[in-house]
Chains A and B, each alone.
Chain A
Amino acid sequence: MITPVQKLRSHSGRLPLLMLYLALPWLWAVWIVPWWVSLVALILVPVAAAMIVVAVFPAPLASRRASDDIQLSDAQIEKMREASSGLHNLLERWSTLSRNTGVNLESARQQVDDVILHSEAAVLEITNSFVGVTRKTRTQMEYALSLLQQAKVPGGNAAQKNEDLSLPEYIRASEAMLKSLTARLLHFSETSLELVQRQERVREQTRRIDDLLDQMTSLAGQVGRFALSTSAMVQGSRRDDFTNMADKVRGLSQAANDLSREVRQSLEGIKDEMSGAHTALNNMAREARTAAQQTIAEVEPLGKAMLAKNKQVADILDRINVAGNEIQQDINQIIIAMQFQDIIQQKLERLKTPVFTQVLDALRSLSDETRFLNQRINPKLLDVSGMTKTGPFRVARSGAVSTASTPEEQPTPAAPKLPGESSGKIELF
């Protein structure tokens, strides 16, 4: 049923002409009637026109558009227009959502570009750090190999020639010098052993002399006892006693001569041994002096070379240590750079929650409204957008699938809901 206001609105174009027609009888009499009568008449003209329109004019026919289906009646079209009265607002909201989604997608694109740039920078830094680590590791290896291959070693046995000796060569030179020293010490040991043997022979000679001296002491005692007994023999004045005593004294004298000769022979032997020992000692002392001088001549430059080698090893170890510290710093940078994954995750989280969630909520709301509007337009269709495949978005919520279709698209009957679709998730296809 059309309302008076709708009726007035539909005939609004005719109202001025109608009011002119109604005012004509009063225009010619404006000069003969009082002015206030003319004023009231003019005021009542629009009222009369409105009452004529409302009460006299018929209801306006329904307008049809070129796009309207000719098979539909005006009533159906009017009903559809009434049902689609909120379509404009819905489309406006679709437009707003599209703009907002575009802005959000632009923000997302910037975030993704940032992630890509950050990932590229991180990968580049990791690559450079790995290259640095490889180069420094190779430097360390070269430092270590320089100790084993070629090094400045002044002095030493071979080092006396100020040659460049590697560490193994230096060790071999030291070993050769130690072997030489050991051989000389062994020679001294053998010479000392010979001296010990000579000393042992001298000790045997002195032991024999000691025995001989004991025998001579015994002879002296016998002679003394003879002397103590001579007075008694004299008192006895027997000739046989004197003869016996003379024989014994002669025997004692002979024994003393024999002992003296043996002692002299032993002393000669000791003298020879001592002379030989003296000669051997002189030779050994001379050899020891020569060996000591040679050893000093070899050890001193070798010691200097050892100090230089130690300094060189210390320097190289310092360099290796410095390179190790730099490698550690590179590895730390690599570890820091590898944290870009966290940054990417943070950026994606920043995208997921505010952008996509908002878009999904808005799409779901609009989809619900669109479905409701579609059902209101065509009540025979239940859930017309359920399985529309042509819609740009399809939002599934608690198993109910809706589609936000374009206005040009015709809704299709909804397919029956599948049991497996009741997942309760919001999915973006």
Chain B
Amino acid sequence: MDSKMGQVKLSSEGKTARLVFPADFRISGAKAFMATVARVMRKKPEALILDAAALERVDGAALQATVVAWRAMKNAGIAVRWENCPASLVGGARLLGLASASGIDP
């Protein structure tokens, strides 16, 4: 999946999986993101890193998808954490009141 096309990229580092967000992560990439999350849950890694270093634009639908993914990982017993959250992601999540539910604000 190419990040420039609005799709997330999954990589594995031992028992830790890394999910790298693209620069434009909006409603159009939400479906592929949820599919990737489902594949991670099947592999059952010990930990999942959500890397948002390249994320520039995000919308409400994408944030709702991250909330769903975060709750699913927690329910599956996978340790999940955010890395390199940009201001656009944090500001959007706080604006919609989803920062805590998505794990962006611990």
Contacts and interface: CB of A to CB of B under 8 A. Distances in A.
Interface stretch (A160-168, A230-238, A349-357, A405-413): A230-238
Of the listed residues A228, A229, A231, the one surrounded by the most CB atoms of chain B closer than 10 A to its CB is: A228
Interface stretch (B12-20, B59-67, B76-84): B59-67
A224 interface: yes
Interface residues of B, number: 12
Q: Is the interface of B mostly helix, strand, loop or mixed?
A: helix
A224 B96 CA distance: 9
A232 B61 contact: yes
A229 B95 contact: no
A90 to B, nearest CB: 153
A16 interface: no
Contacts of B63: 228
A235 B91 CA distance: 23
Interface residues of A, number: 10
A225 B97 CA distance: 10
A232 B95 contact: no
B9 interface: no
Nearest to B63: A228
Interface string A203-243: 00000000000000000010011011111100100000000
Interface of A: 221, 224-225, 227-232, 235
A224 B28 contact: no
A236 to B, nearest CB: 10
Q: Is the interface of A mostly helix, strand, loop or mixed?
A: helix
Of the listed residues B27, B61, B96, the one surrounded by the most CB atoms of chain A closer than 10 A to its CB is: B27
Contact of A221 (B26, B61, B95): B95
Nearest to A222: B95
A231 B91 contact: no
Contacts of A224: 91-92, 95
Nearest to A227: B59
Given A228-B60, A231-B59, 17 more contacts: A221-B95, A224-B91, A224-B92, A224-B95, A225-B60, A228-B59, A228-B63, A228-B95, A229-B59, A230-B59, A231-B27, A231-B28, A231-B60, A231-B61, A232-B27, A232-B60, A235-B28
